[in-house]
Structure 1
């Protein structure tokens, strides 16, 4: 779950200007839990959290000046979302959503490998590396040993 909220924020907003991290490391040095407050110019912000020691919700929400989008859990394979345009709310069903959380990702990888591609337009290499830099920097801020490049 740790990578998905950060990837969603990056997909929607790009590279954050600042990332504030709070959390703790387990006895083995693994990040046991973490909260990331990411900010962009203009006061735009996103919060992502992950935990190996507690249970967290797996839904997502996007709030703007005119309303909110609530994405059902698990948000990375949601079957529905609710669009709440102030003051109304409308539920939108996603009929072709995968029933298994990783099914769409695995199909995408399979299709790209069959085509001989080295990356996917759904999640290009540059986006993957940017998200991983955010996560690696967050782990380092918590005191974890940096992952090898």
Structure 2
């Protein structure tokens, strides 16, 4: 499981030219699931996202402590293998039917702790991000 996490001033997701979700200060999380991911890894990822100190001076506060929000975006391209050639290989990506279940579970875990909005699994989305910093972290569990 891999995530690209960006500290944002605001972020929104657009489908069919309509804003479907948007957040103010918080985190935009692009999440990709891999074939070998487990429930244990899912729990660990959620805990990391919620507790990662990316805010305030010297990175002293997490998204919960600043009363931020999370915009969670499913992204099957994140686990791509790019070691050979110039075309990404997606053989490690979790099959869509399983990945959708993992995505919904992660969203549910996060929503129990913080305002969490999400993109639509499998949709062609535009994601607008006003990165704060910029601060971008790649997280792998």
- Give the structure-1-normalised TM-score: 0.27
Report the structure number with the largest CA radius of gyration: 1
> Which has a greater percent of strand?
2
- Give the structure-2-normalised TM-score: 0.28
Greater RCO structure (CA 8 Å; 6+ sep): 2
